[in-house]
Amino acid sequence: MPSPSFEERFDPEIAAAMTRMNNDADAGLAHYLGIVFDAMTPGRLDATMTVPKSVITPFGTMHGGAMAGYVDHVMGCVLYPLMGKGQWAATTEFKLNYLSAVKGGELKSTATVLSLTKRTAVVRVDVKDGDRLACVAQGTLLITDRG
């Protein structure tokens, strides 16, 4: 028996709730970084980060740590609408490459679930600055049944 597809597993209410929770937050790291969720679809999260001035370094470019925080955030959220009742998912590791310096503006990201088993998921994240890639990442989430 094949495992359920992302479409079958996807809970649009959880996606809507997470999007609202993220976009309406007035505190927290994602709020500080200016991250807004544009669309949560089965196995995918599209988001935009409007680079805040506070993460521009004296060299005039965005602090890499802001990108790393952005990647971690979308990677950790994309899976929720696919979880079963009582399950949750936590990022356990990731790797990223910075492909070009960012001066500001809007960074569009796509987090894509590449693989999902009962225990783990692998997610890829691409971040674009205009039409060029600014960062690519891939990481692993562990899935847990709450006690």
Rg (CA), the chain: 15
Q: How far is the CB of 38 from a second copy (least distance, A)?
A: 18
Q: How far is the CB of 10 from a second copy (least distance, A)?
A: 20
115 binds a second copy (CB under 8 A): yes
Number of residues that bind a second copy (CB under 8 A): 44
Distances (CA, A) of 7 to 10, 51, 77, 130: 5, 32, 17, 30
Q: How far is the CB of 12 from a second copy (least distance, A)?
A: 21
Distances (CA, A) of 133 to 12, 58, 92, 121, 128: 29, 23, 24, 23, 4
Applying CB under 8 A, which part among 7-15, 37-45, 79-87, 118-126 lies near a second copy? 118-126
Alpha helices in 25-114 (DSSP H): 29-33, 64-77
Q: Are 82 and 42 in contact (CB under 8 A)?
A: yes
Q: How far is the CB of 96 from a second copy (least distance, A)?
A: 6
Q: How far is the CB of 41 from a second copy (least distance, A)?
A: 19
Q: Which is nearer to a second copy, 16 or 133 (CB)?
A: 133
Q: Give the other-Cβ count within 10 Å of 6's Cβ.
A: 15
CA angle 48, 55, 65 (to 5 degrees): 80
Alpha-carbon distance 70 to 45, whole Å?
12
103 binds a second copy (CB under 8 A): no
119 binds a second copy (CB under 8 A): yes
Among 7, 20, 95, 130, binds a second copy (CB under 8 A): 95
- Chain residues binding a second copy by CB under 8 A are 27-30, 32-33, 54-55, 57, 63-73, 76, 90-101, 114-115, 119-120, 122, 124, 133, 136, 138, 140, 142
